Amino acid sequence: MRLELSDEQKMIREMAAEFSRNELAPAAAELDMTKNRTILKGHLKRMAELGLMTMNIPEEYGGSQVGVVASSLAMTEIARGCASTAVTMSVTNMVAEVILEFGTEEQKQRYIPRLASGEFPAGAFALTETQAGSDPASLKTSAVADGAFFVLNGSKIFITSAEYAGVFVVWALTQKAPLKGRGISAFLVEPGTPGLVVGKDEDKMGQRGSSTNELLFMDCRVPREQLLGNLHDGFRVALMELDGGRIGIASLSLGIGLAAMDFALNYATERIQFGQPVAGFQAIQSMLADGYMELEAARWLTLRAAWLKETGRPFTREASMAKLYASEAANRACFKAVQILGGYGYTREFPVERLARDVRITTLYEGTSEIQRLVIARQLLR
């Protein structure tokens, strides 16, 4: 047992922390206000250079192969600086991993190095539809075989990074009236494919620097070779990748929560009321203690899940626990941070209101808290 980071893990965390502190944090407010894609893409290019976009990918494909624990640590540091950038990193890593796991050699060679190098600013994961969120098996986008192609028809919604993704993983029905969950296949689709339209960015509460778009498929012809994994086996692909994605979102949530608490802690030592810094009051101390304590619990649940995945052990339940706990703890932490700042916490002059807006999505995407509870309970009741 060794509940300490290795030197390499510390080094990667430090590298990400420095980048986050020096380059992401100073631009985060502007990115949130203006949604300036140039700023975001600048970040993504730098991150690719630092090896942060393909952290669990072998070097032969351009990945930095630092391991799941180190990538969790890095994600937390990136999220401390800018949640919008962090979610882009999380999804892009996940796309690279799904191609690594299920792709043909040709697919791996064609896409992974370009995600690693930053030639593709991002990858996108296109599963969700208007009628298929928590219930992805009821998706309706279809992919009909036609000679050397599959023809895709349908639409996707809430797709992170769709505007600047170099490759989409798209799930569609390849078998009519199948057993629930069967008959779905995954495809690799490139932007600019005729029949694929990327809709406008949603106007969101938070993580506004990250684009979230609709995708329309209108007789979109995708070469057969773009099938990812086995025909009709796509649902399993989706679920397996979401497991790992949960570790990324848990790590991201932790980062947002820590950023909020760190700001509040510092503010509390400076703000004077009733003749003393408010940090002297038990009510404030209690909030600080609770906020950090819960984030510590979140940190260790996340590191445990990351270690299990890294060492090839089962990690579904632990990843769900980490995502569920970290996202809810981070939400509570951001609420406390706004509260500790009082009225100032409600203004744009201080970052905590943005953090509270950014963190809200974490209990919703990549599996709502309710779904995480069902996943956990199902395992417990076996």
Partner 1 sequence: MNFELTDEQQMVRDMARRFAEEQIKPVAAELDKNHQHPAEILEQMAEIKFLGIAVPEEYGGGGMDNVSYALAMIEISKACASTGVIMSVNNSLYCYPVMAYGNHEQKVKYLTPVASGQSLGCYGLTEAGAGSDPAAMRTTAIRDGDGWILNGEKKFITNGNVADYCVLAAVTEKGMGYKGISTFVVNLKETPGFSVGVVEEKMGILASGTAELIFEEARLPGDALLGNEGQGFKQMLSTLDGGRIGIAAQALGIGRAVLEDALAYAKEREQFGQTIANFQMIQWKLADIAMELDASELLILRAAYHEDHHLPYEKEAAMAKCFASDAAMRAAVEGVQVLGGYGYINEYPMARHMRDAKICQIYEGTNEIMRLVIARNLLKGK
Provide CB contacts within 8 A for 270, sequence distance 6+: 277
Tell the residue number behind the tokens 């620097």, with chain if given.
Answer: 209
Neighbours of 272 (CB within 10 A): 10
Provide CB contacts within 8 A for 285, sequence distance 6+: 279
If the CB atoms of residues 13 and 156 are measured against partner 1, the closer one turns out to be: 13
Which of 140, 296, 314, 349 touches partner 1 (CB under 8 A)? 296
Strand, helix or coil at 128? coil
Residues 275-294, interacting with partner 1 (CB under 8 A): 279, 282, 285-286, 288-290, 292-294
If the CB atoms of residues 272 and 293 are measured against partner 1, the closer one turns out to be: 293
Q: How far apart are CA 250 and CA 275, in angstroms?
A: 39
271 makes contact with partner 1 (CB under 8 A) = no
Residues 178-217, interacting with partner 1 (CB under 8 A): none
Tell the residue number behind the tokens 């052990």, with chain if given.
Answer: 313
Kindly list the distances between the CA atom of residue 235 and the CA atoms of 134, 210, 338, 346, in Å, as whole numbers in the listed order.
Answer: 13, 26, 40, 42
Which of 102, 325, 350, 365 touches partner 1 (CB under 8 A)? 325
Least separation in angstroms between CB 16 and partner 1:
16
If the CB atoms of residues 121 and 257 are measured against partner 1, the closer one turns out to be: 257
7 makes contact with partner 1 (CB under 8 A) = no
Render the burial of 239-260: b for 16+ CB within 10 Å, e for the rest.
ebbbbbbbbbbbbbbbbbbbbb
- Total residue length of the chain: 382
- Per-residue tokens: 344: 């100032």
Cβ–Cβ under 8 Å, residues 326 and 253: yes
Known catalytic residue at 366: yes
Cβ–Cβ under 8 Å, residues 267 and 355: no
Least separation in angstroms between CB 275 and partner 1:
18
Provide CB contacts within 8 A for 309, sequence distance 6+: 68, 243, 244, 247, 315, 319
Stretch that binds partner 1, among 30-38, 159-167, 321-329, 355-363 (CB under 8 A): 321-329
If the CB atoms of residues 5 and 157 are measured against partner 1, the closer one turns out to be: 5
Q: How far apart are CA 225 and CA 248, in angstroms?
A: 29
If the CB atoms of residues 120 and 292 are measured against partner 1, the closer one turns out to be: 292
Residues 58-87, interacting with partner 1 (CB under 8 A): 69
Which of 13, 208, 246, 304 touches partner 1 (CB under 8 A)? 304
Q: Which residue is catalytic, options 4, 101, 366, 370?
A: 366
- Residues that contact partner 1, how many (by CB under 8 A): 42
312 makes contact with partner 1 (CB under 8 A) = no
Classify residue 19 by its DSSP letter.
H
Tell the residue number behind the tokens 């963190």, with chain if given.
Answer: 359
If the CB atoms of residues 200 and 378 are measured against partner 1, the closer one turns out to be: 378
300 makes contact with partner 1 (CB under 8 A) = yes
Determine whether 31 is exposed, middle or buried from the number of CB atoms within 10 Å of its CB (0-12, 13-18, 19+).
buried
Least separation in angstroms between CB 2 and partner 1:
4
Q: How far apart are CA 116 and CA 63, in angstroms?
A: 6
Stretch that binds partner 1, among 138-146, 164-172, 212-220, 365-373 (CB under 8 A): 365-373
Stretch that binds partner 1, among 53-61, 179-187, 335-343, 366-374 (CB under 8 A): 366-374
Q: How far apart are CA 18 and CA 135, in angstroms?
A: 39
If the CB atoms of residues 197 and 289 are measured against partner 1, the closer one turns out to be: 289
Least separation in angstroms between CB 315 and partner 1:
11
Stretch that binds partner 1, among 48-56, 158-166, 167-175, 316-324 (CB under 8 A): 316-324
Give the catalytic positions in this structure: 366
Residue ranges in contact with partner 1 by CB under 8 A: 1-6, 9, 69, 265, 269, 279, 282, 285-286, 288-290, 292-294, 296-298, 300-301, 303-304, 307-308, 318, 321, 324-325, 370, 372-374, 376-378, 380-381
